[in-house]
Structure 1
Amino acid sequence: MTSTPDLTGKLALVTGASRGIGYEIALQMAAAGAHVIAVARTVGGLEELDDKIKAAGGEATLVPLDLKDLEAIDRLGGVIAERWGKLDILVANAGILGALTPVGQMKAKDFEAVMTVNVTATWRMIRSVDPLLRLSEAGRAIVVSSSVAHKVKPYWGGYATSKAAIDMLTRVWAAENAKGPMRINLVNPGPTRTAMRAQAVPGEKPESLPTPAQTAAKIVPMAAKDLTHTGKIFDVPTDTWTDAALPTPL
């Protein structure tokens, strides 16, 4: 999936838009014609994104928001409804890695932070904008997952558990909307040259990985109006769709 769809007149909400893959998705969707609602904690990153989008002739609305503020997520749906009346695209990209540590030694505050940002906030965002996506003629939801959701990888208990939960939540949401025009899918970006990847694999050479722009270019087409897949996982490294990845055999 490499062809950029025409998103002229579409309204796209992208979380984690101040850096990395989310930043590039927002930039590329704006270049394709979408008005981007860019959500992130880092104001400086959002302002830089806004400058780039405007310089290219695009439009964006910046929403500085910490996803741990769950009530603010609830309010966001109401604001979008009042201003635009619908939402065409949701990209639930924001997430945190948390501590890579044995399950029995994980601090409660670290586990709770990962689950709040990666799972609870994503669910609250889905709940907040689901009615708005239903009002679009071709609502599209792209939820960022990870291959570790389907692998038994020591020390990754917090992050992997959060992504496994998101996978199931998204697939159930897709099944509930299978008969309508909405398309709801997961994406595994794969190894990408981001700050989170450097934190997770500190010894890796960044130049050996795809850039966030390259990864985003494969994700943006998931917002296309003619997309037929729903309830699937798109694997960026292999450029393939699957119903669900199977766990690594023990």
Structure 2
Amino acid sequence: MLRTVLRATVASGAIAAAVLAANPASAAESPAGPSPSDTAAISGLLASPGTAARLAHTKFPGAAPAAAHATRAAAEANTQIPVYEPTAAFIKGESDVPAALAYVASPAHLADGRAATVWAQPSQAGWKVVNVASGNDEQVHAAAAHGGYLLHEPQVNAWYSVKGDTVTVLDGAVSGVPAGTRVTLAAYRAELQKRYGDKLPGSTYDKTGAGGGYAVTAPDTSGDGSPAIALAVGGAAAAAAGGAFLLRRRSQHSE
């Protein structure tokens, strides 16, 4: 079943002052990514009849674009894009690893020819499809990352490339900061602390459930125990902070 998922986006340039600050950064540790065995498992999952059937039955509201043509629904098993999200430990200064793997994205198309993206996450039983999202945001941003890993801040739907101690803004429309702007990892962490420091798990904000609250999603692990999800926030909380809403269509059930 389709569900409209509201994601808050930053309507002002409030992030600008912080991201432009020239704070020194220490050597950053890279987050763990999918292993070769994970990659093989994801390929098998994407090429499976179950994934093909899910894509064939997924429909997004509205008419398909004129350029779209009916075709066999399928995912591109050989294109796998790891997407990372900031962790509470990094925001609090307890870890120098900026993010954790949230999901692996693969471009796909539906039976009506529309572009879609399959999200895969590890579970105790192996990798599984957890979502089919409209469009190809991850593929577009990964192409602009130029060798860095793809960092998504879901609370404000912001996208970045991280390479060493440098964070590069990929989606300037969200933050008001021009795409291509480079900032230090320390400056980015400082901005995250301002925005979320009092809303992390265990905070009064979290305990009272204000605006939907923040929570770290219970880590679902693969065989090597790698966390699948880092940090999540309710859309109502971000909206209360003055954000505008961005809609992206998702097919939300898990296989």
Q: Same fold (TM over 0.5)?
A: no
Greater strand share, structure number: 2
Please give the TM-score of this superposition, normalised by the length of structure 1.
Answer: 0.26
Higher relative contact order (CA 8 A, sep 6+): 2
Please give the TM-score of this superposition, normalised by the length of structure 2.
Answer: 0.26
